């Protein structure tokens, strides 16, 4: 059975690393590259799962890092750089959505695991397709919770800061959502 935990999740919390990266970038613009190297892939994945379009996700990622680069001198580190970064990312995607009057769901998610057994790959791909269908039926706030945790790989503290919610409430919401999705997947297996 495919579990949501199969997706690549960044669970390590490195606020001190982020503080050091930001401080270095504020002193030397060339040091901004380290911020991009740390957060480029999670940001791109977040945008890709929002748009299902490689070129659009790349454009949004570039726009975001240009905005961050131009704003880094005004940033005051309070332990949640990722929350600041992804709040700007969310605002950028919402602005883009209003401009284009469309938002693509999680359809473009690709299979992230591989097997040497073709029948196992087929079963997994079928399960991923069913999971994608279930995810599309979720309300937007629940889809966003999934994106922030599994596409962007954010920790609960950063997700809570982005969503302006209590960290424990975010954890409970995600765990309940995962259990509900697991039950729905299992019910569809019968």
Q: What percent of the chain has pLDDT over 90?
A: 52
Greatest alpha-carbon pair distance for the chain in Å reads 59
Q: What is the pLDDT of residues 129-160, one digit of tens each?
A: 888 888 888 998 999 999 999 889 999 999 99
100, with CB counted inside 10 A (0-12, 13-18, 19+), is exposed
List all residues 6 or more positions away from 36 whose beta carbon is below 8 Å from its beta carbon: 65
pLDDT of residue 118: 52
Alpha carbon distance 151, 122 (integer Å): 23
Place of tokens 């409430």: 169
CB-CB contact of 160 with 172 (8 Å): no
Residue 98: Cβ within 10 Å count: 9
pLDDT of residue 100: 62
Cα Rg of the chain, angstroms: 18
pLDDT of residue 27: 95
pLDDT tens for the chain, 190 residues long, are 444 443 443 434 455 788 899 999 999 999 999 999 999 999 999 999 888 899 999 999 999 999 999 999 999 878 789 999 999 999 998 888 776 654 444 444 444 444 455 545 555 567 778 888 888 889 989 999 999 998 899 999 999 999 999 999 999 999 999 999 888 888 876 6
Alpha carbon distance 109, 155 (integer Å): 21
Alpha carbon distance 94, 101 (integer Å): 10
Residue 10 has what DSSP assignment? -
The sign of the CA dihedral 136, 52, 89, 92 is: negative
pTM of the model: 0.65
Go through the domains of the chain in sequence order and give each one's CATH number.
4-189 (1.10.1740.10)
């Amino acid at each position: 059975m495919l579990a949501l935990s199969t997706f690549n999740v960044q669970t390590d919390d490195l606020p001190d690393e982020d503080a050091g990266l930001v401080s270095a970038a504020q002193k030397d613009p060339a040091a901004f590259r380290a911020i991009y190297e740390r957060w480029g892939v999670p940001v791109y994945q977040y945008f890709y799962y929002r748009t299902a379009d490689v070129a659009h996700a790349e454009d949004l990622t570039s726009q975001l890092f240009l905005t961050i680069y131009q704003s880094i001198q005004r940033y005051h580190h309070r332990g949640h750089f990722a929350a600041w970064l992804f709040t700007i990312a969310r605002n950028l995607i919402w602005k883009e959505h209003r401009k284009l009057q469309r938002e693509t769901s999680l359809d473009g998610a690709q299979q992230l695991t591989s097997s040497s057994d073709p029948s196992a790959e087929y079963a997994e791909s079928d399960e991923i397709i069913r999971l994608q269908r279930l995810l599309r039926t979720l309300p937007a706030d629940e889809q966003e919770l999934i994106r922030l945790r599994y596409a962007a790989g954010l920790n609960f503290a950063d997700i809570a800061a982005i969503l302006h919610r209590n960290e424990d409430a975010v954890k409970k919401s995600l765990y309940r959502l995962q259990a509900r999705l697991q039950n729905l997947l299992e019910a569809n297996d019968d």
